[in-house]
Amino acid sequence: MFVLDPEIYRRYRDQVLALCNSFQRIGQRGFSDREIAERLGLEERVVTEIRCVAERDMYGLDEWQRAIEFKRRVSREWQAAALKRPDLKEPPKPPEP
């Protein structure tokens, strides 16, 4: 099993993220691992590992919890508006104990 050197990961993570498809624009594609490897002077396999780890490492568990809260809130707001049922809106949070 190929395990990436954590020091290499720390050094190149931001550059790889900036060059790949993690942040996208219409009509301007991100670079492939092979293209990034050529630019940074790394092996393609190393770039693939940096990218895969960075994709997972970009946001911590809190962001995953926020995702749940986001979906619940906006879907209920939409239902309340689309179905004209204000009662479906997310109730206000109870005060902290």
Task: Point out which residues bind other proteins (CB under 8 A).
Answer: 20-26, 29, 31-35, 48, 51-52, 55-56, 58-61, 63-68, 70-72, 74-76, 78-79, 82-83
Nearer to other proteins, 11 or 72 (CB): 72
Shortest Å, Cβ 90 to other proteins:
12
Please give the Cα distance from 13 to 10 (Å, whole number): 6
**Helix/strand/coil for 25:** strand
Shortest Å, Cβ 10 to other proteins:
17
Nearer to other proteins, 5 or 75 (CB): 75
Shortest Å, Cβ 94 to other proteins:
19
Shortest Å, Cβ 91 to other proteins:
15
Bridge partners, 25 (sequence order): 28
Q: In degrees rounded to 5, what are phi and psi of residue 10?
A: -60, -40
Output the CA angle 35-11-22, nearest 5 degrees: 50
Nearer to other proteins, 3 or 61 (CB): 61
Nearest to 9 by CA among 39, 51, 61, 41: 51
